[in-house]
Structure 1
Amino acid sequence: MNSELHVVLGAAGSVGKSVVEELQRRNFKIRAVERKKKINGVETVNADLLDLEQTTIALKDASYVYLCIGLPYNTKVWQEKWPIVMKNVISGCEQAQAKLIFLDNVYMYGPAPLNIPFTEMHSKKTISKKGMVRKIISDMILEAHSAGKIKAVIGRSADFYGPNVINSPLYVSFIERMLKGKAPQSLGKTNIKHTYSYTKDNGRALVTLAMDDSTYGQEWHLPVSKPITIDEIIVEINKVLNTDFKATVIPRVMLKLMARFMPSIKEIEEMLYQADYTYIMSDDKFRKYFPEFVVTDFETGIKQMINSFKS
């Protein structure tokens, strides 16, 4: 076993779990960090990343730190807590002299509609408050790297899906409903193309970036499967479930009414531009740099996702 310590923050999350699996496959030394949970078979430290002392202790002796946590999907929470988490993690990495690998999303890109496809070089003039937070924290990482405080790399994921991923839009809007015999519901047009990242691919890709020193100081789009429409996604789910559903679109007037009484819908409102336009993320940079990396095709990934919930 390699003696270098790989610390995974948010190890019980959708992508953090996949990072742990890839590190185990490579026989690396692992420490999982969670607020309260324990990870079976892996040294686990419970820590609140909003607390600098707890964060520093959790990252002690780390060589690599994977920041894969998720905060509640709430703008105010993101604005208040993400910068604190990032500041503490950067400080902890600096003290441990650890490399930081950050799982990011694509919210900072804008204005909408985005280029087709959009690359890492796309303008970051987002129209959403959540996107502004993502821009702030990704800048914090790149500035810390440029200043020589830490070595850091950013892996940016499209909307992800995968086994047991309950916070994927493909589960909440489609799979969960269809498993209950209900028609899938869409927040936007069902005939426009989007790209999605498979969680197990994300985990493998983050470790791949981490282990190549030449990737640091850069932003990388993590690999995606082929662009696909919601109508095509429903066809693939129907094949697995042996059903014949079609997606219904929730009218925007209805969404606005729902947002008055349902905080979760209100939080989604500012991100609806992603559902109104073709939204294709380019992973060319990653694929050209790592040509031997095999990306999971959507048909295989969605089948594995559905089967994880069926069982």
Structure 2
Amino acid sequence: MGTHLVVGAGPTGAGTARKLADLGHAVIVATRSGTEVDHPGIEARSVDANDATALAGVATNIDAIYNCANPPYYAWDADWPPLAKALLGVAERHGAVLVTMSNLYGYGPVNEPMTEGHPQAATYPKGRVRARMWQDALAAHNAGRIRATEARASDFFGPGVGESAHMGSRMVDRALAGKTVTVVGDTDVPHSWTAMDDVTTLLARLGTDEAAWGRPWHVPTAPALSQRALIHQLCEIAGVDPVKVRAYSGFELWIAGVFSKTIREVGDILYQLEKPFVIDSSDATEVFGLEATPTREVLSEIVNTSISV
């Protein structure tokens, strides 16, 4: 049995590594800093993932590589292409499966629930970057150089997703404190939210099941809820009166963008939060038997984790 190499130790990478180790696989997590993951079956390595030679040398035989890296949002155009190229090279050198954690940016605006069959038609830079990464991986797969697959998810929610997520700790802390929550986009349009635990479950499956290779998969995702509805359901579970939910004005976002390079980048993807943004994940459920964790269960876990901190 070869090694499963996870690149990145954020919530996605660390969670995937734990799932793989629990399944009995030898797991290495590679980051620049050598970040440790709290599991006895996981080895941490300090390596620059852009250096294909160094990354390929972390193990004699790599069965699968999981791209769970997370370059700074404002630097995708510069950072993703060389990193993706390096991971392709390592996968080819080892004859490994390349599993990429991706999102829905590549589709661009779509006026119906998104399926894996929708074209990668985005015209803005971040969407084109993500689409090109999959096109390159699929071309290598079709040429027989590697085996490739990709997981695509909507916005993450769940314990540990961090404060930068739309439904991350910043929103949770304010809601549980009974304070007004301010969100990006329309407060009341349907939006898909993907549970982090479902993301890592699917990633671990994609690298170990040959039925997954050669195509992308949507992570099992519960029925869409608006931002207001999700926040109010969180309040109900926590026993807190429903808080006020308001949207940032265009002027507020502009001012914030003056001081934040990340917020400055939000303009291209506002369509995801101003109009219905819904994912169809039925393929993964049909093929792998994986069901989305019910939203109420995820929110209960968020509340319990927040209270115990």
TM-score range, shorter chain: over 0.9
Listed one character per residue, the Cα deviations across residues 98-154 of structure 1 (whole Å, up to 9, x for unaligned) are: 1111111111112x2x13211112132214211111111111111111111101111
Listed one character per residue, the Cα deviations across residues 209-267 of structure 1 (whole Å, up to 9, x for unaligned) are: 22221221111111111111112111111123322212011111222233223322212
2:149 is equivalent to residue 153 of structure 1: yes
C-alpha change, 1:47 and 1:200, in structure 2 (3 Å) is same
Aligned mates of 2:246, 2:253 — CA distance in 1: 13
Task: Report percent identity of matched pairs.
Answer: 25
Q: CA deviation at 1:159?
A: 1.0
Other structure's SS at 2:186 match: coil
Aligned mates of 2:269, 2:275 — CA distance in 1: 11
Aligned mates of 2:123, 2:44 — CA distance in 1: 38
C-alpha change, 1:60 and 1:158, in structure 2 (3 Å) is farther
- Confirm or deny: 8 A CA contact 2:154 2:192 kept in the other structure: yes
Structure 1 outlier segments of 4+, above 4 Å? none
AA aligned opposite 1:125? A
2:23 is equivalent to residue 26 of structure 1: yes
Aligned mates of 2:37, 2:18 — CA distance in 1: 12
The unaligned stretches of length 5 or more in structure 1 are: none
- Confirm or deny: 8 A CA contact 1:59 1:65 kept in the other structure: no
- Confirm or deny: 8 A CA contact 1:65 1:101 kept in the other structure: yes
Aligned mates of 1:238, 1:230 — CA distance in 2: 12
Which stretch of structure 1 is more off in the superposition, 278-287 or 176-185?
176-185
Aligned mates of 1:16, 1:293 — CA distance in 2: 19
Pick aligned residue for 2:119 from 116, 119, 123: 123
Aligned mates of 1:294, 1:223 — CA distance in 2: 6
Pick aligned residue for 1:87 from 85, 99, 103: 85
TM-score (norm 1): 0.92
2:297 is equivalent to residue 297 of structure 1: no
Which stretch of structure 1 is more off in the superposition, 202-211 or 279-288?
202-211
Aligned length: 303
Aligned mates of 2:266, 2:59 — CA distance in 1: 33
Name the structure 1 match of 2:129: 133
Other structure's SS at 1:83 match: helix
Name the structure 2 match of 1:218: 215
Q: Aligned-pair RMSD on alpha carbons?
A: 1.7
Other structure's SS at 1:63 match: strand
Other structure's SS at 2:93 match: helix
- Confirm or deny: 8 A CA contact 1:164 1:309 kept in the other structure: no
Aligned mates of 1:304, 1:51 — CA distance in 2: 38
2:226 is equivalent to residue 229 of structure 1: yes
Aligned mates of 1:104, 1:6 — CA distance in 2: 19
Q: CA deviation at 1:60?
A: 4.0
Name the structure 2 match of 1:168: 165
TM-score (norm 2): 0.92
Aligned mates of 1:143, 1:60 — CA distance in 2: 26
AA aligned opposite 2:54? Q
Pick aligned residue for 2:181 from 163, 179, 184: 184
Listed one character per residue, the Cα deviations across residues 148-189 of structure 1 (whole Å, up to 9, x for unaligned) are: 110111111111112111042101552132345531111111
